[in-house]
Structure 1
Amino acid sequence: MKTLIGIILISALSACGRVNSPRTVYTMNAGLDEVLEDTLAKIVKTDEEWKKELSPEAYDVLRKEGTEQAFTGKYWDNKADGIYHCAGCDLPLFDSETKFKSGTGWPSFYEPINTVNVGEKEDNKYGWQRIEVVCNRCDGHLGHVFEDGPEPTGLRYCINSAALTFHNRYKTSE
């Protein structure tokens, strides 16, 4: 019953958009952002704690802003139905329904689950301007967002597989 109510609520709210200057950020469950903001507690750990908990690759990406090599991550070609979570703190980040084949070699999504869980920061490293994508609970580096994605948002969230864990969506029988 809770699942059905959640699906109805998300469906009703999914048509809503949220303006986030300088471009529009679409969200699958706009309207829940304020509720989620109140319950999203930051996770703060020492560098040593992160090293103990994460694989070396996940640590490099999430904590040191590394990038995995294209076409090598475990999720770049994943077609299963489910939710992608942060590998550092298990916060839901992207729904497989928004994943698309970008040809870049990294998992690509046209929108995050909501605008609270996934944050954006300016990244001016390496002499060019990009927008870094981060987990808003643990501040883990996920990848970058570009304005060359498909409709309805025109965005491409290019995310490292090492920054993600995947949870299959299980369908219940009626």
Structure 2
Amino acid sequence: MSYAAGLQITGLVTHNWCRTSLSQMGLFQPATYIPASVMFDDPEDVCIRVWALQPAWLYVVRVFIFLATVQSIIATVVIFAYTCMSQLNGQRNILLFIIIDNLVIVSLNSIGCIVFVLELPGSQHYSWSYIEILCASGLSIFASFLTVMELKSPYRNVLSNLDTGRSVFVALIEKLH
């Protein structure tokens, strides 16, 4: 089983968990005010503005996060299909699709993070949801890195030796060379 596929699933679960957490905290409502104690475990029950996006920008962010989630699902399905099936037509096209798909995931997650960070209030505290989003993007980037490494000839043996047996994914890659 491909390491990238496993990381992609982990990234997808983390990403969906982030979205659920943000929705429950009301961060996807424009100009939402919540107690600081809920956001930062601060003893002072002070309400702060945690989301200052205009409605139009709010929908843009939602679209970016939705597309990133869809792309994660597509990438996971494709990687699993390529890993588990030994007879595939157009294998080179699938490899190219996996690389492009992972790059799209990284791009969409990065845009979502940048927009989210720019809209945070000027506070010295860091939101756990903000950290979760960065972690989800980091997992996607790491999955993309491992996917590319598995496609590169000099690194195939190194990655395959980390497993107890040669994965079907690595075996298929070797057939292409």
Length-normalised TM-score, structure 1: 0.22
Length-normalised TM-score, structure 2: 0.22
Which structure has more RCO (C-alpha within 8 Å, separation ≥ 6)?
2
Higher percent of residues as strand: 1
Greater gyration radius: 2
